[in-house]
Amino acid sequence: MFVTETTKKRIICFMRKLFTALFIAATLPLMAQHQSAIRIYPAQGKQTISKHIYGQFAEHLGSCIYGGLWVGKNSDIPNTDGYRTDVLNALKRLQIPNLRWPGGCFADEYHWMDGIGPQQNRPKMVNNNWGGTVEDNSFGTHEFLNLCELLGCEPYVSANVGSGSVEEMAKWVEYITSEGDSPMANLRRKNGRDKAWKVKFWGVGNESWGCGGSMRPEYYSDLYRRYATYCRNYDGNQLFKIASGASDYDYNWTETLMKQVGGRMDGLSLHYYTVTGWDGSKGSATGFDTDDFYWTMGKCLEIEEVMRKHISIMDKYDPQKKVALMVDEWGTWWDEEPGTTRGHLFQQNTLRDAMVAALTLNVFHKYTDRVKMTNIAQIVNVLQSMILTKGKQMVLTPTYYVFEMYRVHQESTFLPMDLMCEKMPVRDNREVPLLSATASRDKSGKIHISIANIDAAQSHQVSVNLQNTPLKAVSGRILSASSITACNTFEQPDNVQLKDFNGAKIQNGGLNVVIPAASIITLEVK
């Protein structure tokens, strides 16, 4: 009898699920509660988790740039050539791979030539998108690219398509990347930088369907083709051009761009926020109950279904997966903290936000054949940030610690798995599994397993089977707190932080893990 490849795959999938179910039945007590099983397939690992999935985003928004990253050389806040030293050091520990700038919505009102030359001569501008703040343009192209060099990360520049011109973007590319005797390269030299920068990632506009110009996808497709034509590769710098993609559930935008632009773009962006809605209150960042918590987990996990639908459209036009999906804005979005400036989007960061970060990264790892970069919004003082600052004070957020704990997955081989656990119905007709997990193997052969226990009330016992992989030792770290609303404040900066985890044991050739309620762990297996 002839068996198609599709049928074979279905049989294999069924057998894997059956084996996992039998494994649970055989290894767990019959009357046990909150017991789960993970079966990892090390031999099936093929895809590499790009480090760029751990990208960051810095927009001229609130105190992200001014006061967060940049204070100027004359500030009484300790700084390194104008950059906050404490923030610099904290970001270096994360090993961030790339940084997106200057926006966001700000990008399509930003004219880069206002941000070069002597700082005292730069014109001021009004940030119309975010609170009407007046900025002095002291942080511009040179300051951003020098920051990336200090951090050891790749720059991702978003160009102005909404209110700018083809000429403006073309000259910006030349100014930054040309080594020749050209007008823009000579202007860069005049401004103190002789050697050109290497800048690979270029965004051709941002949210062109909204704040980036309120365009139709057909119009933007033609506009992208025009802009991309005049962005040249100078002196060995190969541009990776990223088209302004869809928001959330706008599958028609992706369909149109794949049809009209296709291989003329290297990447296509996607924005997805874990947000209750865009009208009225989005809810408090710290004042929420367990019902809100579980709803957030459901909304967060919905990104997988959204990505699948966008990816299926991309696969139809690009089966070779040459065009990368770039989720260059993602994260939580709550109401601004009381007493802060309206429009600056300063919000606290709790264990709930850390859980969103872990669950989302776990999803991204599964689609590394298409997803090549993501950028959480945003790096300092805005939305789901890594760091909060106030004057000379700095605090690391729970989300920061997830990124620190998860950095072991960067450039490692993704290991497929089956996960069996209980599920919980939540409002808006969503169902949330109480565990989320991912695994990878690094270049030295070490296996790292990250598990998030979404259950806010009870611990879970997890049996982990690695298919006869020899296990010599296991260690781990855990992020947890006394409550799901716990956060780090300037008064109490250590409420939520990483600790050693001793709840994993090698047993019967596998792992037995007891993970506490509302906690995230990463195990290292040798």
In degrees and rounded to multiples of 5, residue 268 shows phi and psi of -130, 125
Among residues 109, 329, 336, 404, which one is catalytic? Answer: 329
Q: Per residue, what are the HEC states of 12-67?
A: HHHHHHHHHHHHHHHHCCCCCCCEEEEEECHHHCCCECCHHHHEEECCCCCCCCEC
Please give the Cα distance from 169 to 369 (Å, whole number). 30
Listing DSSP states for 457-523 in one string gives S--EEEEEE-TT-----EEEEEE--SSTT-B--SSSTTSS-EEEE--EEEETTEEEEEE-TTEEEEE
467: left (phi over 0), alpha (psi -120 to 50) or beta: left
CA dihedral 180, 185, 190, 196 (to 10 degrees): -80
Please give the Cα distance from 328 to 55 (Å, whole number). 8
Q: Is 207 a known active-site residue?
A: yes
Please give the Cα distance from 215 to 223 (Å, whole number). 10
Q: Is 135 a known active-site residue?
A: no
**Which residues contact residue 198 at a Cβ distance below 8 angstroms, ignoring those fewer than 6 apart?**
177, 237
For residue 201 the two structure tokens come to 């990632």
C-beta of residue 107 within 8 angstroms of C-beta of residue 159:
yes
Q: Give SS3 for 85.
A: helix
Residue 65 vs residues 112, 147, 174: alpha-carbon distances, Å? 16, 11, 25
Identity of the residue numbered 29: P
Please give the Cα distance from 36 to 337 (Å, whole number). 38
Among residues 207, 422, 491, 524, which one is catalytic? Answer: 207
Indicate the burial class of 43 (C-beta count within 10 angstroms; 0-12, 13-18, 19 or more): exposed
Please give the Cα distance from 112 to 173 (Å, whole number). 11
Q: Catalytic positions, please?
A: 207, 329
